[in-house]
Chain A
Amino acid sequence: SLAEVFLPEEPGAAAPVGFLQQLPSYQSALRRRNASGGGTQGYSAERRGAEARRLEQEGGELVARPAREHPLSIAEKRRDLQQADTKYLSGWEQWKRTSNKSLKKVLNEVKELSSYLELWRHDIHSIEGKFGTGIQSYFSFLRFLVLLNFVMFILMFSFVTFPSIISKYGIFNSTFSKIPAQNTEPHCTVYTPSGNKGLVYFYTYLKDLLSGTGFLEVTSLFYGYYTIHTAWFSILSYNLPLAYLLATFFYLALSFFWIIKRSVEGFKQNLVHDEDQFQSYCNKVFAGWDFCITDPNAARLKHRSLQYELQTDLEEERLKRKIADRTVKEKLRIYSLRIFINIIVIAVLSGCFYSIYRATVFSQENSSDISNMNFQANLLVQYLPSIVITLANFIAPQIFSFLIGFEDYSPAFEIRLTLMRCVFVRLANIGVLLFSLWSQISYCATDECKACGYNYKLYPCWETEVGQEMYKLTIFDFIIILAVTLFVDFPRKLLVTHWSFKPVQWCGLQEFRISDNVLEIIYGQTICWIGTFFSPLLPAIATIKYFIIFYIKKISLIHTCKPSARPIRASSSNFFFLLVLLIGLVLAFIPLGISIAHIPSSKACGPFRSFNTSWEVVPYTILGFPTGLQQVLYGIASEAFAVPFFVVICLIMFYFMALAGAHKRVVEQLREQLVLESRDKLFLIRKITEAQRH
């Protein structure tokens, strides 16, 4: 029977003499073992060099690998190189070789020079050494956001703000023209921003700085400043509304593709990784040690965390087996408990959303009523939505991590689910804020209001209002991060170091929670993406904000934090950050899309005064193109083109999916074949030795 044929597996047992020793694979292993008989390395240099060279000659088309890619010591590589040099080469090949070498040298020099330009290279390196690659990935992410915001700022400034400013002041012999609005009621076009005139109290300036009103409202920070339609530089005409819209689309597209490019690596690995659950143990053991750690304290913590992780994983596996053995009654109980807790979660979320809605409505209604309020109360009312959002962002995750304990999931899934819920809360809060703003803006009771399309009395320039709201959110976010570091982290460190009261010591230093910090900055970045359309200079503020936050977080990390006991793997965190950032970007498309294409642009200010909606400038410009081009563009936008295009893309996608499935099947089959081959080999050898004995 088959049982007799398949031998019991003996791991590397004493090789049956004779035939096994004559197998080619055994001989090569023996060669390696023999070389270690001298007491030094187990791998003979010459054997390896010879093998490598033989491989290269066998596969005639194999390109000679550069010397440094051979796993030999420097002395051996030098010998190889000299031997290769003495081989006879034709003149053409020699020239090719030397030009390759010099090209590589030049490229290396350029790479070295450009690494000097990298921002904070040394800081991030030292953080990596002290705290490991998980935390380092947070700081690299922060650096990426600083760069992204800076590029966005350069974009908006050079295409929108700069032409506006120089044509307004007539530099370079430029002039501008404003097309008067046609077909609009005159009452829609009244807009008198109150740039501060005359003597005002000092604190009015402070209030204006913090809430974007007053003197800030009329600067190029906000949408309302850009009233020009065309700017003329000698003979060139520059269509400002079109440039404004296209710059917006361009920065969104740029962010999109840049994030995707950065996440492609992690994407591939995560797709492969998720499918094959079996890799996790090998990954943890073989790639577990973080070779960047130089501090013995950090090393001790790493040991502990590795031990914790391995034990948790083994525990989880035992738990999985237990789950599989659950009875039907237990399953019912757990599922109904989970449904109940999800209902609670939804209730918490609705509570957050409703409070944000009410706060926004209240703030909008009462902030225009400046007369009977003093400075602080007015500021408080202005910032009410930001305060409520920040509170919600703080409280909801605590509730979620408390509730998840009851749902009896495996630990890894628990972490992921809580994280997903927190992400959703943070991003949805912004959406609710914007929605409540819009419901205020487009609330129309009278006919006059309907003629304008928006509430012209309260919001003659509603884009500036939205921009101010985004500006306030950004400033408040920054203030909160600063305040938490100054007034929570440092006092906590002082308390723990100097007061040996038991509960205080049990609380201990805080850990640097990577996921919370990352969600914080992604929240800020989503606000920036949405707000840049309404406030073109917002990316500059965001750049400065993230720049300062880098140093704040670095100082807080070094001085007040203890390393986290639960490790976060660098690879999965990189991909996770970029994925959530991408979700934030996609969510930012929605409000922008609605306000550009659906809500009527304000008729009293801004570059889109003479159009119904902001999007209309594009069809208007296309109408000015030559007829042939118009036909082509209409053709592309029509169904006759879109439907076949969509079908072709679907076909290509299905093809690649089928290809990937086929490859996976082939890999499985080859694996099975390998197992069978090795069994066959052992069986044959047994048979031969038996036959030899008789």
Chain B
Amino acid sequence: AAEAAMGGSASVLPREALDEYQELTFLSKQEILLAYKRFSELLPKEERENACSTRVPKSRILTLPELRANPFQHRICHVFSTSDDGDDSMSFEDFLDMLSAFSDSATSDIKSHYAFRIFDFDDDGTLDRKDLEKLVNCLTGQGEESRLSSTEMEQLIQNILEESDIDKDGTINISEFQHVVSRSPDF
């Protein structure tokens, strides 16, 4: 049934665009068509014809089930959006970029690069103590009782910096991050 539906929408996505996207991302043809279908469902009916060039506002993107439960939803939208207005709206190509970075066939280089940007809450190019603190709070969940106590947070951040900060400047830059993540079996 999914294939039949995708067959219907394939007539809307031109073939050269499909080939081009296959080359520029890590997604397979089926995945790109599925992504197109999901993306056009986010748009109101009138705008579905030129889904390739419309931008979807952030609030609609966050209704996707995969992002709804994700604590990094806002950062993900911010990192992958190429919108000039700063409103974090995403076009179809941004959407594909996001899926490509998260797909199984993406290289770990790409994944670690985007992960660094997602974790860099203040966008300054390094992960400092404040970024790490926000990161841990995102992981343990929203709400007061789910946060670590300040001593535990201190101990944890100290341990993280000990493990990954090679040049001991108190922050983690992208090379240090990629280095520590390359040895991380769960990444």
Q: Which residues of A contact B (CB under 8 A)?
A: 9-12, 29, 32-33, 36, 39-43, 66-69, 71, 73-75, 77-78, 81, 101, 105, 108, 111-112, 266, 269-270, 272-273, 276, 278-279, 281-283, 285-289, 291, 293-296, 298-300, 303-304, 306-307, 310-311, 314, 317, 569-572, 671, 674-675, 677-679
Contact = CB atoms under 8 A, between A and B. Distances in A.
A482 to B, nearest CB: 32
B123 A69 contact: no
A78 B146 contact: no
Q: State which size class the interface on B falls in.
A: 35 or more
By secondary structure, the B interface counts as helix
Contact of A289 (B21, B26, B70, B181): B70
Contacts of A273: 183, 185
A278 B184 CA distance: 11
B83 A68 contact: no
Max chain B C-beta neighbours (<10 A), residue from A285, A314, A671: A285
Max chain A C-beta neighbours (<10 A), residue from B70, B120, B140: B140
Given A74-B21, A281-B156, A286 B163 contact: no
B33 to A, nearest CB: 12
B128 A12 contact: yes
Interface in B103-155: 107, 109-110, 113-115, 117, 119-120, 123-126, 128-129, 132, 135-136, 139-141, 146, 148, 152, 155
Given A67-B23, A307-B140, A307-B141, A286 B185 contact: no
Interface string B71-101: 1100000011111101000000110110010
A108 B28 contact: yes
Interface stretch (B42-50, B55-63, B168-176): B168-176
Contact of A281 (B109, B159, B166, B186): B159
B136 A276 contact: no
B136 A310 contact: yes
A9 B125 contact: no
B128 A11 contact: yes
Given A42-B124, A299-B70, A306-B140, A279 B119 contact: no
A63 to B, nearest CB: 14
A291 B117 CA distance: 16
A71 B160 contact: no
Contact of B109 (A69, A105, A266, A675): A69
Contacts of A36: 123
B66 A286 contact: no
B125 to A, nearest CB: 5
Contacts of B68: 294, 296
A155 B176 CA distance: 50
Nearest to B181: A286
B113 A298 contact: no
B170 A291 contact: no
A467 B161 CA distance: 59
A258 B93 CA distance: 40
Contact of B141 (A73, A291, A303): A303
A671 B136 CA distance: 26
A678 B83 contact: no
Nearest to A288: B139
Nearest to B68: A296
A29 B125 contact: yes
A294 B66 contact: yes
Given A40-B82, A74-B96, A279-B183, 11 more contacts: A40-B81, A69-B109, A75-B93, A81-B23, A278-B163, A289-B70, A291-B66, A294-B65, A307-B139, A311-B152, A569-B185
Contact of B183 (A272, A288, A677): A272
B170 to A, nearest CB: 2
A456 to B, nearest CB: 56
Contacts of A671: 166
Contacts of A679: 168
A293 B169 contact: no
Contacts of B81: 40
B167 interface: yes
Max chain B C-beta neighbours (<10 A), residue from A281, A286, A572, A671: A286
B171 A11 contact: yes
Contacts of A307: 139-141, 146, 148
Contact of B160 (A285, A287, A300): A285
B15 to A, nearest CB: 13
B186 A571 contact: yes
Contacts of B79: 41
A276 B93 contact: no
Given A9-B168, A73-B94, A279-B184, A286 B148 contact: no
Contacts of A296: 68-69
A84 to B, nearest CB: 12
Contact of A108 (B22, B72, B167, B187): B22
Contact of A314 (B26, B117, B128, B156): B156
Contacts of A42: 117, 120, 123-125
Contacts of A41: 79, 82, 123
Nearest to A10: B170
B71 A289 contact: yes
Contacts of A74: 21, 24-25, 93-94, 96-97
Given A12-B171, A73-B97, A282 B185 contact: no
B177 interface: yes
Given A43-B117, A279-B183, A289 B139 contact: yes
29 contacts: A11-B129, A12-B126, A32-B125, A40-B86, A42-B124, A67-B24, A68-B25, A71-B110, A71-B114, A73-B94, A112-B30, A266-B185, A276-B183, A281-B159, A281-B160, A281-B163, A282-B184, A285-B135, A286-B180, A287-B181, A287-B187, A288-B186, A289-B70, A291-B70, A294-B69, A296-B68, A299-B71, A303-B140, A317-B155
A313 to B, nearest CB: 8
A299 B100 CA distance: 22
Nearest to B101: A71
A509 to B, nearest CB: 21
Contacts of A266: 185
B163 A282 contact: yes
Contacts of A10: 170
Contacts of A298: 69
Given A73-B97, A286-B119, A307-B140, A78 B24 contact: yes
A110 B109 CA distance: 25
Contacts of B26: 68
B41 interface: no
